[in-house]
Each structure stands twice: as structure tokens, then as C-alpha cells.
Chain A
């Protein structure tokens, strides 16, 4: 679906993308994670034909990205970036109706997408009067109107409460089940862990780690086994053959309260990999 090869882009002599390479397969939810300023939005702009790479190859739908501005390809793409906007003086319905006509989508879709983003009943409201989270959900609804094959979402749940977040995750899983490929950026590691099939950690304009969230976490798990004993004592062992005998003894003597390995969260993996905090 998406393929980047050695992509470079700099602004005013400062590199924003520095040899970026990755691939997104059809039907997966791909999480693009990285600290602020790491180049996430720049990458989405590049993938949607809004920016040209200085060097390198960018491919969408198996075609060079310069083709992406063709109406037939734009018809298959849905986009919601952190700088998209609604017409403030118009109602939610007028806003959606414009895009419904541009994408030639039947009227019933408006109701369907508003349901997906949990916004039934706001059709007649002027968008200027909506809260930030509501605007964000209308924008998401707009991106979903034409049931795109490929969906770009730049921090789609940034301004949302946990309930609406969960509702939208549910909607995105549903889209994935129907075959939509989703490329999303997020600062929310929880979101990435529960929603994404695969994530890439971006730092300094290139991918530093890539894989399924679980396997990434396992790869970075501490090789230490921690055992809590009756009486409150805590002992630790290397996760290695030599530890087997001692652990076995605790076990047969019925001394163990709990036993676990320390698997980091995706957020901790990120900090470990980049030496930076997500902000």
C-alpha cells in the first residue's frame, strides 16, 4: 500500500526526514510514533502529495506518489491531518454535504459516519460552536465519508475523552475489518498498543524500531525474573538456565506469592530507544 525508500527532506537546511524507509501492507493499522517535531506530519504530507521529497522514492497504491494528486487516486484516500479545518460559519451537515458531493457519496453515508464518531444529532449545529473534540470527530467523519481504501489520520484522538476514544477505536477496527488500510500517528502509546497491528518508532527523521507492539515490548523486556516470597521478601534472577534450580526450590517449598518478568510498555520502549520523552 505504502512504500518509502531512502526519503530525505529538509527545511531551511535542517533535515526533517533523514533516509526514512518503511512499508505498510494492505489491511493493517500502522502506527507512526515519534516525539514532537520528528517528522510525522511531514511524512503524511509527503504521502498525500502535499510535499515533495528532496530525494528518495515514495509509493502509494504501488504508484509513484506524484500520481497521488490524480482525482481517481484521491477518491480512494481519506485524510485527516492536524491542520485540516471545517467551514466555521456552516453547519455540520453543510460541511459534510460539500464533501459528500465532491466524493459522490449517497446521502445515507452522512448519518452512518456521524454514528461512527458518536455525533448523532449535531447536524444542524454551526461548526464554530462545537468543542475541539467534536470538531475533531466531524473531521474524522468527513475523512470516512467515501469509505477510502487508505486512511491517513494525524493524531485522530488527541482531543478526545476516553469514552469517545474507545468508540473511535471501535470504528477504526470495523474499517480495518472491511479492508481499509489505516496509517495513523499518535502520541498515545496506549492507543498504539491496543489499536495498531504494527508500529514504527520515528526519531530524528528515521525509523529506529519497527514491529508489532507486543513483539517490540518483548524484545525490550528486562531479562530479569522477579519473585515475591511469602513474608514480603523479593528476589530477582537472570532469565537463564542457571536460575532454574533456585526457582524450583522456592516453588516446591511453596514460598512463592508472585512471579513475573518485567515487560516494558511501548512508551518505555520508546524512551529507551530514543532517549527522549514523548511529548
Chain B
């Protein structure tokens, strides 16, 4: 157990150092901060809208992207093979990377709150949702990383993730205009917002159900893909 934590920490430290030297990836931090700046300051936006939007935005752009980028780059450079041939297990390797992605997302999210000047209320169901969404976004990042052959590829694959999950709910007005846009309601990011905005228990339970469903799906697909492909094709 202690050995395992030491290995996870070693991989985390390495990825952290590497990330600080990788401007291409680390500048994605700025995107959610930019949005927080635009939306937060003096807009009179309710925290029930601002908070879930920023969580989705931050975890999709920072968490999912960093996770996918650092996995894809290791594949591209052929460094993942070395890790796999060391006594570190795949779970330890992925955990080390996930810790970094989660930490970066949380830090960026906390900083983005600086741009919000209204009163903040966080319903307790939102905390549960936050944990589920964290697992969802990081596993999704792992999946995108496994699918990508290079850093460039992961940067392209991440774009729909950012648009649909990170920003999708910003266009909710379109839902009233176009019926097809209602698909957004099925998305986990929309359901996460429900946890802040809905007051009836049934909506909240359904929202958590949807989010768990999505997360389970992504976990299963990721595990399946992982088994199917060896790590370093």
C-alpha cells in the first residue's frame, strides 16, 4: 500500500514537472478563467447557474484535456512502455495522472470563483454530483488519451468534449427554439446543473441517476478499450 502510494506520487511529481514545462497544454488553464471573468463579474448571475457551469467548463477543459494529453503524449513519445515495464501497475500509473488532472481542475475552479461576486449557495446534492462528475471527466480524459495516438490528436478529440460538455448548457435558450436541442437534457453536465437548480427530490434523484449512468458507461468503455489495445501500439 505504502509502496503503491509512493509510486503514484512519483508519477504525479513527474507529470507535474512535465506539465509546468509544457506551455501548449498548461495554457488551457486560461480558458475557464477567461469565461469566469466574462460571466462572473458584475453580471448579477445566480450562483446556481455560475457554479455548475464553471465546474463543467473547468473539468472538461482542464481535467479531461490534461488527462488525455498526458496519456497521449506518453504514447506518442514511447515513454509509456517504460512505465509499463517497471513494477508500477497500470492502476498506479493512471491514478498518478488522475491526481494531477483533478488537482489542476480544482485549483482552476477555486481561482475562477474569485471572479464571482454574488452570494453563493451549494446544495448538498451538488457535492455528491461533484464527486460523480469528477470521476466522469477524468475517466473520459483517460478514454480520449487511449484513443489518441499523439498530443495533437488528443487536442482535436477534446474539442467536442469542450463544446458539448463544457459549454453546451450555455445555449439552453436554443432549447425553446429547436426541439432537437433538447438532447442536451440527456447530458450529464445538464443533469449536474439540475442539482443546483431543481428543488423537487424526484428531479434530483433522476439527475444523479443519469450522471451515474453516464459515468458507468464511460468507465466500462474505457476498461474495454484498455483491455482490447495494448498500451503502446
- Whether the Cβ atoms of B78 and A84 lie closer than 8 Å is yes
A50 interface hit (Cβ, 8 Å): yes
Q: Which of A176-201 contact B (CB under 8 A)?
A: none
- Whether the Cβ atoms of B77 and A98 lie closer than 8 Å is no
- Whether the Cβ atoms of A102 and B83 lie closer than 8 Å is yes
CB distance from A125 to the nearest CB of B (A): 14
B172 interface hit (Cβ, 8 Å): no
- Whether the Cβ atoms of A90 and B18 lie closer than 8 Å is yes
Q: A98-B10, A102-B10 are in contact. Are A88 and B77 (CB under 8 A)?
A: yes
- Inter-chain contacts of B88 with A (CB < 8 A): 71, 102
- The number of A-B residue pairs with CB atoms under 8 Å apart is 65
Interface string of B118-134 (1 = CB under 8 A from A): 00000000000000000
CB distance from B158 to the nearest CB of A (A): 21
Q: Helix, strand, loop or mixed for chain B's interface?
A: helix
B81 interface hit (Cβ, 8 Å): yes
From A3-11, A26-34, A72-80, A204-212, the one touching the partner chain is A72-80
Closest to A72 in B: B87
B85 interface hit (Cβ, 8 Å): yes
Number of interface residues of B (CB under 8 A): 25
- Whether the Cβ atoms of B85 and A90 lie closer than 8 Å is no
From A75, A77, A94, A142, B14 is in contact (CB under 8 Å) with A94
- Whether the Cβ atoms of B87 and A75 lie closer than 8 Å is yes
| Interface of B toward A, CB cutoff 8 Å | 3, 6-7, 9-11, 13-14, 17-18, 21-22, 77-79, 81-83, 85-89, 230, 232
| Interface of A toward B, CB cutoff 8 Å | 48, 50, 71-72, 74-75, 77, 79, 81, 83-90, 94, 97-99, 101-104, 142
Q: Which 7 residue pairs across A and B have the least CB separation, nearest first? A: A101-B10, A71-B87, A89-B21, A85-B78, A102-B86, A98-B14, A74-B87
